């Protein structure tokens, strides 16, 4: 078991001594420059990736300084005035900020509770299907929605739930029931958004779990069968533990992004009637930053989000390492 787990994650962490000893040997035998010259193709191959992270991830980080400046796009980064923590103070005293923060957390929580397990369950179900043709067909059908844009998904939601022409409304009227204002009612907004997210992404996200499932050695199932384990027992004691590493990693990543609930997904469904439940940090900063050109305060929001995400990721990873022995690093 433990050997198989290692093939997923944490290889260097599990073998700290051997890892270090490779380095030590190198130091003992030859200088760094010579080592690099000897293995130059490897280092050349690493260059594009390093350049990618440098250019697209690390250099833009420097732009975060505008969270502490009164940034004017025509003056530029350097000439804009320093204002210290003014933008963070504005946020903290902003009447709506708590509400928006709450909305973000609630929607994120819904996503973790409902949307996260959905692909796992789907993968487990598909795994139990015997007829390959049926399995493949279902799998293809459920991951198709992934390729639709959110604007299209909204269009389809409109066709279903429009109070004048919607499919659901017409069905309801057959049973003499009043139409439901699903797209305009605050009470349905979060369900609708999270539901649409599950419908769209469930099949696609299941792929990674299906891949993990194929990695479980058939001999384990054979052994379990010999011991007289039922299918349910096999699921509990062979399949699930086999999936655990993948589940833990994805859950950790999701927790790190707890304040990112998917901008497009929310934005297409949002209208003034649902601001009170649906305005989240992403849509709020879009409105402020891009529409009103308030770049500084938007950057402050982004920085705030990143810090929370970072702290959460590190602490949850520690916790996970302690409890399950699995982690990102």
Number of residues that bind another protein (CB under 8 A): 36
In angstroms, the CA 281 to CA 104 distance is: 6
- The dihedrals phi and psi of 328, each to the nearest 5 degrees, come to -75, -35
Q: Is 81 exposed, middle or buried (0-12, 13-18, 19+ CB in 10 A)?
A: exposed
Count of CB atoms situated within 10 Å of the CB of 314? 13
Whichever of 158 and 199 has its CB closer to another protein, that residue is 158
Which residue in 40, 43, 52, 329 binds another protein (CB under 8 A)? 52
Least Å distance, CB 297 to another protein, is 6
Angle at 224 between CA 219 and CA 230, to 5 degrees: 135
Asked if 49 is part of the footprint of another protein (rule: CB under 8 A), the reply reads yes
The b-or-e profile of 180-202 (16+ CB within 10 A means b, else e) is eebbeeeebbbebbbebbbbbbb
Q: Pattern 193-222, binding to another protein, x per CB under 8 A?
A: ------------------------------
Asked if 183 is part of the footprint of another protein (rule: CB under 8 A), the reply reads yes
Asked if 294 is part of the footprint of another protein (rule: CB under 8 A), the reply reads yes
Asked if 275 is part of the footprint of another protein (rule: CB under 8 A), the reply reads yes
Whichever of 32 and 291 has its CB closer to another protein, that residue is 291
Whichever of 238 and 277 has its CB closer to another protein, that residue is 277
| Candidate ranges 8-16, 140-148, 161-169, 215-223; the one touching another protein (CB under 8 A) | 161-169
* Residue 322: C-alpha distances to residues 11, 83, 103, 316, 325 (Å): 17, 42, 31, 10, 6
Least Å distance, CB 70 to another protein, is 8
In angstroms, the CA 208 to CA 96 distance is: 38
Asked if 306 is part of the footprint of another protein (rule: CB under 8 A), the reply reads no
Asked if 304 is part of the footprint of another protein (rule: CB under 8 A), the reply reads no
Whichever of 109 and 208 has its CB closer to another protein, that residue is 208
Which residue in 2, 164, 214, 219 binds another protein (CB under 8 A)? 164
In angstroms, the CA 124 to CA 262 distance is: 26
Least Å distance, CB 291 to another protein, is 6
Asked if 51 is part of the footprint of another protein (rule: CB under 8 A), the reply reads yes
Q: Angle, to 10 degrees, between the axis of helix 186-214 and the axis of helix 97-110? A: 40
Asked if 167 is part of the footprint of another protein (rule: CB under 8 A), the reply reads no
- HSE at residue 131, side-chain half, CA atoms within 13 A, is 4
Q: Tell me the chain's radius of gyration from C-alpha atoms.
A: 25
| Candidate ranges 178-186, 196-204, 242-250, 309-317; the one touching another protein (CB under 8 A) | 178-186
Give, as ranges, the residues between 61 and 80 that touch another protein (CB under 8 A). Answer: 72-74
Q: Is 59 exposed, middle or buried (0-12, 13-18, 19+ CB in 10 A)?
A: exposed
| Candidate ranges 12-20, 136-144, 251-259, 287-295; the one touching another protein (CB under 8 A) | 287-295
Tokens standing for residue 234: 């096999």
Instruction: Return residues touching another protein (CB under 8 A).
Output: 45-46, 48-49, 51-52, 72-74, 90-91, 94-96, 158, 162-164, 181, 183-184, 271-273, 275-276, 279, 287-288, 290-295, 297
């Amino acid at each position: 078991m433990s050997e198989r787990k290692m093939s997923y994650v944490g290889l260097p962490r599990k073998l700290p001594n051997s890892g270090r000893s490779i380095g030590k040997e190198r130091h003992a035998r030859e200088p760094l420059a010579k080592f690099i010259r000897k293995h130059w193709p490897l280092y050349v191959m690493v260059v594009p990736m390093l350049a990618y992270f440098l250019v697209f991830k690390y250099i833009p980080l420097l732009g975060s300084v505008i969270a502490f400046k009164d940034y004017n796009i025509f003056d530029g980064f350097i000439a804009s005035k320093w204002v210290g923590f003014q933008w963070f103070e504005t946020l903290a005293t902003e009447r709506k900020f708590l509400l928006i923060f709450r909305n973000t957390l609630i929607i994120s929580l819904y996503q973790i509770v409902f949307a996260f397990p959905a692909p796992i369950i789907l993968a487990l179900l598909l795994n139990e299907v015997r007829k390959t043709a049926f399995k493949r067909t279902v799998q293809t059908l459920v991951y198709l929605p992934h390729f639709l844009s959110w604007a299209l998904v909204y269009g389809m939601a409109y066709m279903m739930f429009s109070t004048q022409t919607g499919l659901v409304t017409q069905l309801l009227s057959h049973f003499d029931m009043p139409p439901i204002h699903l797209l305009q009612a605050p009470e349905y907004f979060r369900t609708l958004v999270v539901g649409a997210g599950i419908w769209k992404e469930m099949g696609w996200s299941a792929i990674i779990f299906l891949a993990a499932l194929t990695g479980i050695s058939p001999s384990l199932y054979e052994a379990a069968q010999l011991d007289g384990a039922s299918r349910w027992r096999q699921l509990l004691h062979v399949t699930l533990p086999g999936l655990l590493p993948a589940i833990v990693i994805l859950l950790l990543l999701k927790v790190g992004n707890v304040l990112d609930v998917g901008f497009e997904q929310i934005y297409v469904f949002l209208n003034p009637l649902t601001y009170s439940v649906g305005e989240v940090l992403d849509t709020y900063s879009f409105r402020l930053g891009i529409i009103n050109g308030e770049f500084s305060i938007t950057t402050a929001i982004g920085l705030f989000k990143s810090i929370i995400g970072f702290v959460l990721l590190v602490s949850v990873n520690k916790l996970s390492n302690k409890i399950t022995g699995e982690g990102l690093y």
